[in-house]
Amino acid sequence: MVCCGNPTLVMKDFPTILKMPGEKQDQTLLLCLRLGAFLCFAGWAWVHFYWQAPYGVLLWQNNIFSLLERIGFTWEEFVGTGAGDGWVQEWSGRVGWLFLACTILSLTARNASRFQMIGLLTGSLFLIILSYAKFVKAQYQLPMFVEHGGQMLIPVLLVLALFFGVRHPTTVCTAIIAFIMTFAGHGAYAVGFWPTPSTFYAMTSVILNVEYQATQIFLYIVGVMDFVICLGLFLPPIRCASVLYGAAWGFVTALARPVAGMSPSLNYWGADQFLHEAILRASHFLIPLYLFFLWKKPSSTPFSESTKET
């Protein structure tokens, strides 16, 4: 079992990957997870350093204030005065460094280093906290938390792949759960089980240049498809097609943010506003891609023969 990846492998190798021998295919599987974790952490590090991570909704609470008062903090010390940063701003910045460290760890982590893997799991914990904060901010809409499954679990997946192996049932099951969370959460919004986020309509209308009614139909269809591909994972004849669709759709939805929002008329073409939104969603297509490579059988050459040839 191969437990470390080859970062030099790139997407242009895609056609040949399908015919790769097992060892190289394992490297590809790991690369998917490494890239997913790397881009997810990089995107969130950008949010921490350049914008503002959504911890405020969890921290700026009266009960937190009461707790702080009991342990001797003042509110000003905690949230700042505006003229100066408080504990919240200082620590939010420091968490950014953690995300940056995890970005590097995503590329360098080896199964021999427990320290690196603990670092990645800590990163995952903070991704869970961020997802929970977004869930609270969205007035406790369950899909808001669930659809972040891919982002929350991608570092865990990488650690599992390093520790147990890319084909280990624990790794595979975690990937399946991450896939289902991402697409079922998204589908629940798109179908309208919870109020469909405005950005879904907006991005669809802008990119496809269609009216509201057409957007509604489109979102309903892709929402249903989100659930269909989740079920498809459990039906061997269509699971490869399901994850391939998931990879394509995850890629499109991640890219939709910059495509819909960027414009030459904006400073830096709006890249600083929108690009990280695509980057931190990389797990939405790289986890399905991992599953696709995992389940895709070498097309014509039997595994044993190809091994022999090499």
Q: What type of residue sits at position 227?
A: F
Min dist CB 15 to other proteins, Å, is 28
Q: Pick from 255, 252, 250: which is nearest to 285 by CA? A: 250
Measured from the CB atom, the residue of 74 and 113 that comes closer to other proteins is 74
Q: How far is the CB of 98 from other proteins (least distance, A)?
A: 18
**CB nearer to other proteins: pick between 35 and 127:** 127
Tokens of 119: 């670092």
Q: Which residues of this chain interact with other proteins, rule CB under 8 A?
A: 50-52, 60, 62, 65, 75-76, 78-83, 86, 136, 139-140, 142, 145, 169-170, 172-174, 176-177, 195, 198-199, 201-203, 205-206, 212-213, 215, 257, 260-261, 263, 265-268, 270, 272-274
CA–CA gap between residue 116 and residue 179 (Å, rounded): 25
Give min distance, CB of 215 to other proteins, in A: 7
HSE, CB side, 13 Å, CA atoms: give it for residue 62.
0
Output 104 or 176, the one with its CB closest to other proteins.
Answer: 176
Per the CB < 8 A criterion, the answer to whether 186 and 143 are in contact is yes
Alpha-carbon radius of gyration of the chain: 21
- If the CB atoms of residues 184 and 282 are measured against other proteins, the closer one turns out to be 184
Burial class (CB in 10 A: 0-12, 13-18, 19+), 26: buried
Answer whether 48's CB lies under 8 Å from 99's CB. yes
| Shortest Å distance, C-beta 163 to other proteins | 14
Q: What is the nearest approach in angstroms of other proteins to the Cβ of residue 140?
A: 4
Of 13 and 272, CB closest to other proteins: 272
Say which amino acid occupies 272. D
